């Protein structure tokens, strides 16, 4: 297995001024545990893994990890992953309109004038937190 690591400077106004993101390509054979281990090793806020899509409407799939867990969606990895995918000669089905598959579902990304913008994915849950969820949030 050969993987590549792309360091992407997201939300940058100049070199080394944004939010760094490691984007891994070629990692289809990695297990979830190995993805988590790589993420901890990079020690960045998030690491994204570009994978082939599992849904026909998607151009690519991304799995997003923080130092301690996988996340269904996050904005900075969404934009950085899309940038890395495009720079690796990814070609969207519809020019200027990319569809990313992630844990939160399909995310629409627009490309205009060299910039990327995404539409918020559908909410995964609604309503007030449970007592256990509220307690966990307060402990953080």
Residue 133 annotated to the active site: no
Query: Do 49 and 27 touch, CB atoms closer than 8 A?
Result: yes
Q: Which of 46, 101, 112, 133 is catalytic?
A: 46
Q: Which two tokens stand for residue 138?
A: 């307060």
Query: Do 109 and 80 touch, CB atoms closer than 8 A?
Result: no
Tell me the C-alpha distance between 23 and 81, whole Å. Answer: 6
With CA atoms as reference, report the closest residue to 84 among 41, 26, 33.
26
Query: Do 58 and 101 touch, CB atoms closer than 8 A?
Result: yes
What residues are annotated to the active site? 46
């Amino acid at each position: 297995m050969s993987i590549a690591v792309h360091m992407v400077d997201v939300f940058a106004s100049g070199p080394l001024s944004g939010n760094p993101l490691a984007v891994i390509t070629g990692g289809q054979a990695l297990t979830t545990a190995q993805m988590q281990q790589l993420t901890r090793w990079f020690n960045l806020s998030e690491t994204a893994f570009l994978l082939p899509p599992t849904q026909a409407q998607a151009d690519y799939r991304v799995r997003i990890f923080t130092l301690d867990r996988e996340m269904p969606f996050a904005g900075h990895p969404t934009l950085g992953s899309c940038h890395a995918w495009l720079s690796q000669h990814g070609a969207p089905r519809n020019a200027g309109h990319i569809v990313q598959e992630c844990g939160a579902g399909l995310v629409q990304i627009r490309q205009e004038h060299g910039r990327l913008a995404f539409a918020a994915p559908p909410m995964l849950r609604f309503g007030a937190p449970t007592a256990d969820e509220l307690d966990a949030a307060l402990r953080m």
